[in-house]
Structure 1
Amino acid sequence: MTMAPHMAQHEAPHTEAQGSAPARPGEPRDRSRARRGKRLVGVDAARGLALVGMVAVHTLPVYDAEAQRATLSWSLFSGHASALFALLAGVGLAFGSGGPAPRTGRALTAARCATAVRALLLGLVGLSLSLLPLPVANILPYYATLFLLALPFLGLRIRHLLTAAAAAMLLTPFLMQLALDVLPPDVHGNPSLRTLAAHPEAVLPQLLLTGTYPALPWLAFLLTGLAIGRMDLREVEVQVRLMLSGAGLAVLGWGASALALGPLGGYDAIAAATPQYGTDRIDEVIVYGPDPELPTTTLWWLTVPGPHTNTPFAIALSLGVAVAALGLFLLLTRAPALAAVLRPLTAAGAMTFTLYTAHLVFMAQRLHTGAPVAWFWTQIATALVLALLWRGLFGQGPLERAVATASRAAGRAVIGRGPAAARADGA
């Protein structure tokens, strides 16, 4: 793998239940049912883009030696692709827990049980994959932790979810940074079943606070997605607002970081507090992210916007990009012609858990190092063709189907039989 100094390649994906928008007042019953039952392909298309971005970050070179800067693929996707996956995971959780009207009572308990089972299966697959010699960061164990942390929030409405997401974005990075000198050091590489059994006291803090995708700061992505999934995503006004507000948040995150590092003196404070780095190394962190974590010499480090620095500014930037991308794809797929063009991407986005798992298995073979560009396009073409064929012949991807079957069974065990169980199965 081609890498810049002090850099590690990251990124990562998802399983979800698609949901429905509420019927409009006065809408005929049969038309309302058809509208609710139609899958939001824009969500799948956005997730397909995130998969492409993840494969690009894992496979393509990070550094352009000729231009002496980061490659375009790194600048576009690093940190943003995995943030988009986490955002869309929240959207899926909203679909599976009542959509615009959060479930209550036993139905909410059933949704939480189903989500917990989904998280455990994701974690089992992720920790098992990490037994392979992966040359990249595996998001699945962190993803599973995020799902478990989301359980108390499944019954909340949009305002409270956005408030909690803002708190996660603004406050937990400080907790993360303060914890680095207190908590046990991370286990080497990706958390696996072996390291979890041998060093649980190190793996759990890594999943929550000190790893590549720390679940507590990354709640900002998941909870924002959960709030977005409570909206009527079929309405064009909602889609436009998502695209514009996301773009605004990304600009705000980047601009505020530039202001803090420049006129407010953050860059100079970092250089003074971390003399062993030098300006070149500080610039690397800003562009490429930490290796493996930010220094704790000064809290001014929390003003950098680099990928996977997990600072408030980096989270705001990646969150804004993710929200804008979702709004854009929801708008694009309104046009039948564009939806048809995006169909391969949509098919891949509907089975990213399976495709991401296959991608990690491929990466463990380290075949891509000799010809990264060729292997990138080989993986993308294979994923798109396989997804189209599989979706046409069998529907859900194999891992998606297994997780959905187990989580639905957990939900039914809580709900029991009757109309409530049928509604839960439908979601």
Structure 2
Amino acid sequence: MVMKAPVADARNGSVVDRLVGIDLARGLAVFGMYAAHLGPDPGEGGLVGFLMELTHGRPSALFAVLAGFSILLITGRKAPKSGIAGRQAIARVAIRALVLLALGSILGCLGTQVEVILEYYGICFLLVLPLHRLSAYQLGLIAAATALVLPQVRSSLLSVAPNLLDPVFNLMVNGYYPAVTWVPFLIAGMAIARLNLNTLAAHWRLGLAGVALAVLGHGGSLLALSSRALTETSLWWSDVDGAFEPSKSSFIVKSSWIAAPHSETTLSIVGSTGCAMIILAACMLAVDALPRLRKLVWPIIAVGSMSLTAYVLH
């Protein structure tokens, strides 16, 4: 069984079960974003450069998948809440989305060099909230469909209005974390949350499915780029050399075969979702199979349980 820790609900003093593996994965995502924003430049090369490159794009994708998971923790994971409880849950998610939008705007006004993701998450919360009553199968199909279609929609919109400065267009299409290509991550997280994750077999299936998606996304990109005799074949998993800049390779920018972080392509979304599923499954397996590990990683779990606060502080 999945290890759970009782956490007091500050509003009413009740006890709410939290999946410890989820908090561990969320904590790893937060520290990964710390490394991406504050760590050494991946361009330095070597082992440190390689490890730093792994933190670019992937922690934020993991965070997005877990955000979708969290939506169903609020609205009803095994079965959607109904009646007054259901309406209250929807209101909680909507309020959380508005808080994220407000915090993101405030942090953006501070002039930090870090790309603030909170505004984009707020928009994504509102976009996927109507899907909270669907089954895991339905959510999985929608996640796959949006991962396939929305990157092409975004590309078409950018070709029509590449320099549009509208704030909503920036959040939806032209920003660093465009909502139109990040909602598949949240929907995938919602689909995962709807699954029965109470057995080791379920954790293994989740991890193996993640491996399949990671291979499909990044492996497919590697094969496609290599077959086209492109020099920037590192774009199947990274952009450490900056080859993704339009001034350096106009073909690469327009190509749908890239899977580098923040390339906003179908293969990138599929590969990053797979990596997120692998980490999530590994965290759940670890805290379940190795109970003593929980004591060793409790600081990470604690950060994961208050990830928004930790992100804002950093």
TM-score band, normalised by shorter chain: 0.7 to 0.9
Q: How does 1:266-415 map to 2 (within 5 A)?
A: 279=231, 287-288=239-240, 290-291=244-245, 301-334=255-288, 335-359=290-314
Residues 252 and 121 (structure 1), Cα distance of their counterparts in 2 relative to 1, 3 Å cut: same
Equivalent-residue separation in structure 2 for 1:329 and 1:317 (angstroms): 19
**Counterpart in the other structure of 2:12:** none
Aligned residue among 202, 206, 218 for 1:254:
218
Give the C-alpha shift of residue 256 in structure 1: 0.8
User: In structure 2, what residue type is equivalent to 1:44?
Assistant: D
SS in 1 for 2:163: coil
**Counterpart in the other structure of 1:43:** 22
Aligned residue among 146, 149, 157 for 2:127:
149
Equivalent-residue separation in structure 2 for 1:296 and 1:151 (angstroms): 37
Give the C-alpha shift of residue 300 in structure 1: 5.5
Task: Tell me, yes or no, if structure 1 residue 115 matches structure 2 residue 115.
Answer: no
User: In structure 2, what residue type is equivalent to 1:321?
Assistant: C
Structure 2, unpaired ranges of 5+: 5-14
Q: How does 1:220-231 map to 2 (within 5 A)?
A: 220-231=184-195
Residues 72 and 114 (structure 1), Cα distance of their counterparts in 2 relative to 1, 3 Å cut: same
Equivalent-residue separation in structure 2 for 1:281 and 1:322 (angstroms): 23
User: In structure 1, what residue type is equivalent to 2:93?
Assistant: T
**Counterpart in the other structure of 1:408:** none
Matched positions, count: 298
**Counterpart in the other structure of 1:175:** 153
SS in 1 for 2:109: coil
Contact 2:67 2:189 in 1 (8 A): yes
Contact 1:87 1:222 in 2 (8 A): yes
Give the C-alpha shift of residue 65 in structure 1: 3.7
SS in 2 for 1:238: helix
Contact 1:112 1:154 in 2 (8 A): no
Give the C-alpha shift of residue 76 in structure 1: 1.6
Q: Percent identity?
A: 36
Equivalent-residue separation in structure 2 for 1:235 and 1:123 (angstroms): 36
SS in 1 for 2:255: helix
Give the C-alpha shift of residue 130 in structure 1: 0.4
**Counterpart in the other structure of 1:213:** 177
Equivalent-residue separation in structure 2 for 1:55 and 1:38 (angstroms): 27
Q: Could you say what the CA RMSD is over the residues aligned between the two structures, in angstroms?
A: 2.7
Aligned residue among 74, 77, 82 for 2:60:
82
TM-score by length of 2: 0.86
Contact 2:80 2:132 in 1 (8 A): yes
Equivalent-residue separation in structure 1 for 2:208 and 2:219 (angstroms): 16
Contact 1:57 1:73 in 2 (8 A): no
Give the C-alpha shift of residue 100 in structure 1: 1.3
Give the C-alpha shift of residue 141 in structure 1: 0.4
Deviations 1:289-341 (A, max 9, x none): 64589987688611111110011111111110101100110111113201111
Aligned residue among 16, 34, 37 for 1:55:
34
Contact 1:177 1:296 in 2 (8 A): no
Give the C-alpha shift of residue 240 in structure 1: 1.2
Larger Rg: 1
Residues 113 and 295 (structure 1), Cα distance of their counterparts in 2 relative to 1, 3 Å cut: farther
SS in 2 for 1:39: strand
Contact 1:210 1:293 in 2 (8 A): no
Contact 1:43 1:88 in 2 (8 A): yes
Residues 339 and 306 (structure 1), Cα distance of their counterparts in 2 relative to 1, 3 Å cut: same
Contact 1:90 1:223 in 2 (8 A): yes
Contact 2:235 2:258 in 1 (8 A): no
User: In structure 2, what residue type is equivalent to 1:60?
Assistant: G
SS in 2 for 1:262: helix
Contact 2:245 2:253 in 1 (8 A): no
Structure 1, unpaired ranges of 5+: 1-19, 21-35, 188-201, 269-278, 360-427
Give the C-alpha shift of residue 47 in structure 1: 0.6
Give the C-alpha shift of residue 162 in structure 1: 0.6
Give the C-alpha shift of residue 58 in structure 1: 0.6
